[in-house]
Every structure is written in structure tokens, then in C-alpha cells.
Amino acid sequence: MAQELARKQLEQFPPDQFDAIISNAGGCGSHLKHYHKLLADDPAYRDRAVLWDEKVKDIHEWLIEIGVQPPANHAPLQVVTYHESCHLAHGQKITPSPGSCWA
């Protein structure tokens, strides 16, 4: 069933038509980055799956990659807390902390 759903996803969102495919959930993103393993034996989808895996990014990973900057409106500083996604660190191996977006 996972292979069938991956094929449908690739049909619905052809990876060659996007600069990035963004996920905001660590666990889901971890699975979405492994379509090449699911479809390695499928010649019709193998290459698309590899490209898909290259383009799937966690939102934090993508923000760091594009060089996100804090707003220039000089808003008052706010104190926040952030709980890192376990799947982001362990499943996707994204470290250092995405919290560097706010440092």
C-alpha cells in the first residue's frame, strides 16, 4: 500500500515542477524522504522518486537553506520556547537545531 500511495503522490505532485516540497511535520517528512527506497524496483517511478527525495525539505531545513532573516520592523523581542521534533533530529538527521532560525 505504501508504494501505491507514493506513486499517487508522485503523479499528483511531479517533483520536476517544484523547487522544493515542504513538510512541517518531522515524522511525515522523514517518511516522505524515502520514496527512492520504496520504489527502487519500479523503473517507471524510480527516477522521479530519487528527485522527490532530493526536493522534500522540512520547513526548518528550507528556511535555513534560503537564509531566512528576522523581520526588519524592529518588533519588540519575544521570549518563546521551542520543542525540537525528535523525528527531525533522529529520523531526518537534521542538526544543528532548527532553532538557529531564531538565534
With beta carbons less than 8 A apart as the criterion, state whether 51 and 57 touch: no
Q: pLDDT, tens digit, for every residue of 72-87? A: 777 787 787 777 777 6
Residue pair 61/100 in contact by the 8 Å Cβ criterion? no
Residue 98: band (very low, low, confident or very high) from pLDDT cuts 50, 70, 90: low
User: Residue 96 to residues 19, 41, 55, 69: CA-CA distances in angstroms?
Assistant: 23, 34, 20, 18
pLDDT of residue 102: 61
- pLDDT for 100 equals 64
In this prediction, residues 15-22 reach a mean pLDDT of 96
pTM: predicted TM-score of the whole model, two decimal places: 0.77
Q: Is the pLDDT of residue 52 over 80?
A: yes
